[in-house]
Amino acid sequence: MTKAEKTIFSALVALAAADGPISPEERAWLHEVLEEAGIKRGVSLEHPQPVDRELLRSAVRTREDRLDFLKFGLLVAMADGSVSAAEHDFLKELAQDLDVSEAELEDLRHNTVLAIEPGD
């Protein structure tokens, strides 16, 4: 696992843990992400680490990558059926660190929810 991959995944784990213990649904989703990326080890789901915001900025460089990362974060947060206030606040902090406005984050959240629940 590269340092960039570890930083990105650690941020997703910290997001899932923002509202307390990582739920079984969030845990399953994070394991799937690891498997898809071919990562077998290197990040603990049991002991989330603080996010190195500067490393995250350098790991997620382009605007498109930053929006994709935040969308991924939304999917992690929604894995257990809802986005808690703590998860939402953490997402807002990550967005700010990545120079994504609250309005853009809200648009992303809205579009992500519509993609998951198109009938609502």
CB-neighbour burial class of residue 4 (10 A; exposed 0-12, middle 13-18, buried 19+): middle
Give mean pLDDT, residues 107-113. Answer: 85
Tally of domains within the chain? 1
C-alpha 52/C-alpha 108 separation (Å) is: 23
Which one-letter DSSP state was computed for residue 80?
T
pLDDT tens digits along 64-107: 999 999 998 998 899 888 889 999 999 999 999 999 999 999 99
CATH code: domain of residue 21: 1.10.3680.10
Q: What is the pTM of this model?
A: 0.86
Q: How many residues does the chain have?
A: 120
* pLDDT band with cut points at 50, 70 and 90 for residue 48: confident
Asked if 87 and 79 count as a contact pair (C-beta separation under 8 A), the reply is no
**What is the residue range of 52's domain?**
3-116
pLDDT at 116: 60
Q: Among 12-16, 43-47, 48-52, 68-72, which is the least confidently predicted range?
A: 43-47
